[in-house]
C-alpha cells in the first residue's frame, strides 16, 4: 500500500507540532523551577556547642513548620521559620590574590594622583562577591530536647 506524499507531509507536520508543544511544556517547567536559598541561623547553638568544620549533617523536614538538623550524628537541632525585615541578599565570595587598585577619578587639588593608582601597603587579598539571590525567611535553629526528637507514636506511649 502506497501513502501519498500529501498524507506523509500532513503526518510530519502533526509530529512536528506535537514535538513543539512538548518542548514548550518542558521550557515552561524549567522556567518554573527557581533556585531557593535558605539561611540557617545557628547563633543560639554556637553558644552551647562547638560545631567543627566539614562534619556530616542531615537536614530534613524543610516542608514542615519545624525542620530538623542533625550534625555529626549527635547534635540534634530543631528549627523554626522566621520572616525577615525586608529582603536578605545572598552572595558567593571568592578570594582574589591581586590587590585592588583604585584609579583616581576626580580632579585633586594638587593633581598628585593623576594617572596613578592608589594601593594600600598593608592591604590583604581582596574578596570578590557575586549576588546569588534573595530570601524573605530565615530558618533559626535551637538545641532540641530528646522528647522533641522522638517519633509521635513513642511520645504517646511514654505519656500513658
Query: According to the model, what pLDDT value does residue 116 have?
Result: 58
C-alpha cell at 6: 500529501
- Chain mean pLDDT for the chain: 72
pLDDT at 135 over 80: yes
Q: What angle do CA 37, 148, 85 make, to 5 degrees?
A: 35
C-alpha cell at 151: 517519633
C-alpha to C-alpha distance for 68 and 66, rounded to whole angstroms: 7
Query: According to the model, what pLDDT value does residue 122 have?
Result: 64
Question: Do 158 and 150 form a contact (C-beta atoms < 8 A)?
Answer: yes
Question: Do 50 and 143 form a contact (C-beta atoms < 8 A)?
Answer: no
Q: Using alpha carbons, list the distances in angstroms from residue 18 to 14, 15, 22, 24, 40.
A: 6, 5, 6, 10, 44
C-alpha to C-alpha distance for 115 and 111, rounded to whole angstroms: 9
pLDDT in tens, 65-99: 999 999 998 899 999 999 888 888 888 888 775 55
Give the CA-trace dihedral at 142, 143, 146, 152, to 10 degrees.
10
- Beta carbons within 8 Å of 59's beta carbon, 6+ residues apart: 40, 67, 68, 69
- Which residue ranges form the domains of the chain, and what is each CATH number? 35-96+128-146 (2.60.40.4370)
C-alpha cell at 155: 511520645
Query: According to the model, what pLDDT value does residue 55 have?
Result: 93
Query: According to the model, what pLDDT value does residue 6 have?
Result: 41
Amino acid at each position: 500500500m502506497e501513502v501519498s506524499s500529501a498524507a506523509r507531509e500532513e503526518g510530519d507536520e502533526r509530529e512536528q507540532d506535537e514535538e513543539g508543544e512538548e518542548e514548550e511544556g518542558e521550557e515552561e517547567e524549567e522556567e518554573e523551577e527557581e533556585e531557593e536559598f535558605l539561611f540557617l541561623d545557628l547563633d543560639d547553638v554556637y553558644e552551647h556547642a562547638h560545631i567543627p568544620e566539614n562534619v556530616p549533617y542531615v537536614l530534613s523536614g524543610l516542608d514542615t513548620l519545624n525542620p530538623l538538623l542533625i550534625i555529626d550524628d549527635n547534635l540534634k537541632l530543631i528549627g523554626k521559620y522566621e520572616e525577615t525585615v525586608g529582603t536578605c541578599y545572598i552572595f558567593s565570595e571568592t578570594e582574589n590574590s591581586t590587590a585592588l587598585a583604585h584609579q583616581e577619578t576626580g580632579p585633586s587639588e594638587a593633581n598628585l594622583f593623576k594617572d596613578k593608582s592608589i594601593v594600600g601597603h598593608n592591604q590583604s587579598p581582596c574578596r570578590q562577591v557575586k549576588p546569588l539571590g534573595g530570601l524573605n525567611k530565615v530558618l533559626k535553629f535551637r538545641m532540641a530536647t530528646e522528647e522533641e526528637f522522638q517519633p509521635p507514636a513513642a511520645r504517646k506511649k511514654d505519656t500513658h
